[in-house]
Amino acid sequence: MKEAETKHELIENYYISLIEENKVSAGDQLPSENEIANLFNVSRHTVRQALTYLVQEGWIYKERGKGSFYSNKKTNEVKKNVAVLTTYISDYIFPKIISGIEEELRRKGYNLLLFNSNNDIENERRCFEDIINQDISGLIVEPAQSTINNLHHDSIKKLEKNNIKYIAINANCDEENSAYIVVDDEQGGYKLTNYLLELGHRNIAALFKADDLQGEKRRRGYIKALNEYDLSFNKSIVGEYITDNQEMYIDQFIKKILNLEEKPTAIVCYNDKVALKVIDNCRKENIEIPKDLSIVSFDDSSLAVSSGVKLTTIKHPKEEMGIRAAKCIIDMIEGRIDKPQYTYSAELIVRDSCSRV
């Protein structure tokens, strides 16, 4: 055991000395594992031990499929600062997500720097510039307007150039090449709609957010469930709003469907906030829930049980997602994993906002 430790320490010290003596530059590539094994006459296992240590200590970094590269000498110690960039901070489910992140980062000795895009692409771009100029080693980000914004390619390239690890939450803009943690939104849309169909509903309205991937995938699940019952997609009772027009659009859409001659018997809402707007409009029109209209939604936020109508909804993991995101970004920073990808199954929480027809 002692001999193996001496061998991998020999490799570690050799490459550290090259950096300290300025014999290599940041971004230069190390030899392959086989070449290092031959150079030091050791096994590849010993080489991997040495490289793992060098990554954890910040001397080198790895790129999947490319190899190992020297880090900037000035950043050869892992910086214990992680930036968190979310679309919102202070309301809805976001405080719990952020609380989970902060709890885990603090437990592992990391500091949190908090940024807010307000779900605006230009704000997000400015936040990225600020983050890149900060002394950080990792970023947890919820992309703004994710259907029209595959994050900022130039900003992502700068993150990678500065060896800043990043993971997306709630939206996976690049399913093949990026790290992400999401809920299966398509499955959620399917489960909610299928639940209504099993209760006998056939004229099911829906209201989704069009500029977020979550909304697009929830809509896809809604359509999939309808198709399984040979029901066509009725565009006239499906609303799609965006961040910039949501307040006005939601109220107008709800009033429109509530005044149709053939009113929908149920509605799938993008989230609990939208569902509460539906409930408020129904009260104004003397429409009883769930007697006259069944309502389902997403996120299982505190709003789901805050009114007289307790919402049937899809659970969002909130604090648990935050803790997982923090664990993943720390593991990425410290070289234990590359680009983790995790999807939570959609869990249906049944309450009393639906009735059988």
CATH 1.10.10.10 in the chain, residue ranges: 2-75
| CB neighbourhood size of 351 (10 A) | 15
Convert the pLDDT of each residue in 52-107 to its tens digit: 989 888 888 888 788 999 886 554 455 789 999 999 998 899 999 999 999 999 99
User: CA-CA distance, 229 to 85, in Å (whole number)?
Assistant: 41
User: Residue 212: how many CA atoms within 13 Å on its side-chain side?
Assistant: 26
Regarding the domain with residue range 185-316, which homologous superfamily does it belong to in the CATH classification? Response regulator (3.40.50.2300)
d(CA 71, CA 28): 8
- Tell me: domain 81-183+318-346, CATH 3.40.50.2300, correct? yes
pLDDT at 2: 42
What does the pLDDT read at residue 58? 80
The mean pLDDT value of the chain amounts to 91
Residue with tokens 């604090």: 319
**Residue 154: its pLDDT value, please?**
75
User: Does the pLDDT at position 153 exceed 80?
Assistant: no
E-only strand ranges, the chain: 60-63, 67-70, 81-86, 111-116, 138-141, 165-169, 180-183, 204-209, 238-241, 266-269, 294-299, 312-315, 341-344, 347-349
CATH architecture of 2-75: Orthogonal Bundle (1.10)
Every domain of the chain with CATH number 3.40.50.2300 lies at 81-183+318-346, 185-316
Is residue 184 within 8 A of residue 343, CB to CB? The reply is: yes
Tens digits of residue pLDDT in 269-316: 999 999 999 999 999 999 999 999 999 999 999 999 999 999 999 999
* H, E, C per residue of 121-164: HHHHHHHHHHHHCCCCCEEEECCCCCCCCCCCHHHHHHHHHCCC
pLDDT for residue 152? 58
Bridging pattern class, strands 67-70 and 60-63:
antiparallel
